[in-house]
Amino acid sequence: MTTCALRRWFVVHKWTSLVCMLVLLIVCVTGLPMLFSEQIWEVFVGDDDPPYEVLPPGTPDVSLDIIVEKARALYPSQIITSINPDDDEPAVLVSMAPSWQALKDDENHPDRHSGHWIKFDARTARVLKQSRPANTPKEPRTWTGIILSTCTRLHMNLFAGLPGALFMGAMGGVFVASLVSGTVLYGRFMKRLPFGSVRTDRASRLTWLDLHNLLGAATLVWAMVVGFTGLINELQTPLFGLWRVTDVRQILRPYAGLPVPSQDHLSSVQAAFDTAAKAVPGNEVTGLSFPGASFGSPVHYVLWTRGATPLRARLFTPVLVDARTGELTGAYPMPWYLRFLEMSRPLHFGDYGGMPLRILWALLDVMVIGVLVSGLVLWAAKRKIATDARLRALGYELDDIDSAPAFAETVR
């Protein structure tokens, strides 16, 4: 490699690293509590839900239609917006609201929440819990909640919504560039050093450089994968938006102008679940949205299904079932870019291999923090050298404590 090319790579590495340094330190630190958020919740908050009734094993779930009826009987003047059977508990969550319009109006009033939910036992259709009514004073926030939500928002968008997310995505791209240039420089610097040498007997700058190289080489692939999948994750809002204005709009066009039928005259919810399960074999149905939801059709149940294996667990395939007749309209797999997004998520979250994988994720994260800090130290030390050289060139005597008189003398 020519000196000129090396210098260029060095400049690229220095500037890309400096640009994303602060953001990376933030995401590395905030990512740690996010990794263990479930455990943190369990330990510090726990849930105050009543225990489930003990029923003989194999007790079948009641029909969802019975749960729908019960929910309607509790709030006769309201509409049901969605039904979500729980993943791992025998519970069904029914979300309700005064009307679709009320939910839409909520968007303009951040303090108003007209939607609420009821949790039913899936086997007995008994009410287990309800969300707190909107007019009661808010539950005091726990420290755990405040810390975790601050971390999550800092990590995702620095409290700046979509612009923040796109900015973080750009920083992800810069980070990948910094890793690539760092790898090139590694090849140059390590030419005469065996792998893993950490020189502690010479200038401390060399120790930092060797640590930077060792930690960087050991975490390179992990950092590349997590950085790149993080970039992809930050693009989720525009990517889902793209899907909405292209394929989804195309699918819903024939129904766009139709009025939303009254919820008393809709086809069976349980039958819609069964139809959807049959339409996408190998997928499990995770929820149903009622006709009229802002993202859906005015006359269809939207059923959300997802792959049953962990790799495909985030691959959602919405299924439309006509809520007037109960007939299947179609299943619509996500386009390639959303599949790519959803498949890359586990590789960013590290949540797919049990507790040991989370711990390894955290340790690798700490090592990357080590790479960042050592890089920062190297840069700061270099800056000091450069500044000192400049000051010396101007005539300051830096090693002297009384540098000002020395300067005065040289001037004289």
Partner 1 sequence: MNAVSSDMSMPPSPDVTPRPSVAVWPWPIALGLLTAFGLLSALLGQHGTWLALSWAALSIPLIVTVAYVLRAWCRTPSVKGGQS
Q: Which spans of this chain sit near partner 1 (rule: CB under 8 A)?
A: 183, 186-187, 190-204, 207-208, 210-211, 214-215, 217-222, 225, 309-311, 346-347, 352-354, 356-357, 360, 363-364, 367
Closer CB to partner 1, 203 or 408, in the complex:
203
Question: From CA 76, how far away is CA 96, in angstroms rounded?
Answer: 11
In whole angstroms, give the CA distance from residue 148 to residue 150.
Answer: 5
Report in angstroms how near the CB of residue 353 gets to partner 1 at its nearest.
Answer: 4
Q: Which is nearer to partner 1, 200 or 250 (CB)?
A: 200
What's the DSSP call for residue 326?
-
CB of 360 to partner 1, least distance (A): 5
- Which residue, 66 or 184, is less far from partner 1 as judged by CB? 184
Question: Of 251 and 381, which CB lies nearer to partner 1 in the complex structure?
Answer: 381
What is the nearest approach in angstroms of partner 1 to the Cβ of residue 233?
16
User: How deeply is 410 buried, as exposed, middle or buried, from its count of CB atoms within 10 A (0-12, 13-18, 19+)?
Assistant: exposed
* Dihedral, 123, 124, 127, 129 alpha carbons, nearest 10: -40
The least CB distance from residue 379 to partner 1, in Å, is: 16
Token reading at 212: 């930077």
- Cα separation, 16 vs 170, in Å, equals 11
Both tokens of residue 318? Answer: 């919405």
Determine the Cα–Cα distance for residues 337 and 242; give it in Å rounded to an integer.
10
- Residues sharing a CB contact under 8 Å with residue 259, sequence separation 6 or more, in sequence order: 298
**Neighbour order of strands in the sheet with 79-85:** 127-130, 116-121, 91-97, 79-85, 283-289, 300-307, 316-322, 328-331
Nearer to partner 1 (CB atom), residue 28 or residue 125:
28
Distance of closest approach, residue 217 Cβ to partner 1, in angstroms = 4
Residue 39: CB minimum distance to partner 1, A:
18
Nearer to partner 1, 164 or 346 (CB): 346
Residue among 204 and 325 whose Cβ is closer to partner 1: 204
Task: Name the DSSP letter for residue 119.
Answer: E
**Nearest distance, CB of residue 331 and partner 1, angstroms:** 25
Least distance between partner 1 and beta carbon 294 (Å): 34
Q: Helix 204-234 vs helix 354-393: angle between axes, to the nearest 10 degrees?
A: 120
Cβ proximity to partner 1, 123 vs 199, nearer residue: 199
Whichever of 43 and 308 has its CB closer to partner 1, that residue is 308
**Buried b / exposed e along 230-252 (16+ C-beta atoms within 10 A):** bbbbbbbeebeeebeeeebeebb
Residues whose CB is less than 8 angstroms from the CB of residue 6 and which lie 6 or more positions away in sequence, other chains included: 185, 188
Q: List 120's β-bridge partners, or say none.
A: 92, 127
Q: Which residue has the tokens 């007037």?
A: 324
Shortest Å, Cβ 68 to partner 1: 35
